[in-house]
């Protein structure tokens, strides 16, 4: 196989390619996971291609069988994390009917994404966005906008029902920012703990009386 020329030429289909080729091999996904964890631990500049290849037991040359550049694997880490987050919240919203239930679904889905085995992708996105060349950012920005729109649509319903009075764009920033900060003070939560935390957050966001705050 010829060396890949960026993410747009990788094997398999994806939102940025529209291809229908066969799915990438397992080693492709192993490299993405290894790279994501190393970028989280060492930063993009601190993690070399050799580090990534060593983490999965392959040579640096074999890395380039799957990715043309280190930037391409960074793109794949970010794209995979955003796709996973969108998938989680979409599934959560399927069973939510009222505006409050939908807000809870979003909060829980966001927390589950942050604290999943792919949670590293979120940190990498925030810290290393500037490492993605401006000309390559469009697919990632489209995914980010899709996620943002999902929140704004739900928050519009929440506001229409009189549950909040704030500007929904500002409210989304506050809400997502608070949820994102949990990576600093929540450690290895169980599914039940995340459900309870999501309930507490919703109560706090909506300024409901007598919330049971769990720390």
Point out the least confidently predicted range of 1-10, 42-51, 128-137. 1-10
Contact 80, 140 (CB under 8 A): no
Q: Flag whether pLDDT at 5 surpasses 80.
A: no
Q: What is the chain's alpha carbon radius of gyration, rounded to the nearest angstrom?
A: 19
Q: What is the DSSP letter of 24?
A: P
Integer angstrom CA distances of residue 33 from 4, 76, 84, 195: 18, 10, 13, 26
Which residues are CB-neighbours of 191 under 8 A, at least 6 positions away? 112
Of 20-29, 131-140, 181-190, the poorest mean pLDDT is in 20-29
Q: What is the pTM of this model?
A: 0.82
**pLDDT tens-digit readout, 88-105:** 999 999 989 999 999 999
Mean pLDDT of the chain: 88
Q: How confident is the model at residue 118 (pLDDT cuts 50, 70, 90)?
A: confident
The answer, yes or no, to whether residue 22 has pLDDT greater than 70, is no
Per the CB < 8 A criterion, the answer to whether 10 and 4 are in contact is: yes
Domains in the chain, CATH or no CATH each: 7-205 (1.10.357.10)
pLDDT tens, 41-85? 999 999 999 999 999 999 999 999 999 999 999 999 999 999 999
pLDDT of 212 reads 54
Q: Across the chain, which distance is largest between two alpha carbons, in Å?
A: 62
Least confident of 1-5, 129-133, 175-179: 1-5
């Amino acid at each position: 196989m010829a060396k890949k020329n960026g993410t747009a030429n990788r094997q398999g289909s994806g939102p940025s390619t529209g291809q229908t080729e066969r799915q990438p091999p397992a080693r492709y996904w192993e490299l993405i996971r290894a790279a994501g964890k190393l970028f989280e631990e060492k930063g993009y500049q601190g993690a070399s291609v050799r580090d990534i290849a060593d983490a999965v037991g392959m040579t640096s040359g074999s890395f380039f069988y799957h990715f043309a550049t280190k930037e391409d694997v960074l793109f794949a880490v970010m794209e995979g994390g955003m796709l996973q987050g969108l998938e989680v919240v979409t599934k959560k919203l399927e069973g939510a009917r009222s505006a409050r239930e939908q807000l809870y679904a979003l909060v829980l889905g966001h927390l589950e994404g942050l604290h999943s085995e792919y949670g590293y992708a979120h940190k990498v996105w925030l810290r290393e966005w500037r490492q993605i060349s401006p000309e390559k950012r469009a697919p990632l920005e489209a995914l980010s906008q899709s996620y943002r729109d999902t929140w704004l649509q739900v928050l519009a319903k929440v506001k229409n029902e009189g549950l909040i009075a704030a500007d929904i764009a500002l409210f989304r920033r506050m809400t997502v920012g608070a949820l994102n900060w949990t990576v600093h003070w929540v450690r290895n939560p169980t599914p039940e703990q995340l459900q309870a935390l999501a309930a507490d957050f919703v109560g706090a966001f909506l300024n409901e009386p007598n919330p049971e705050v769990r720390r």
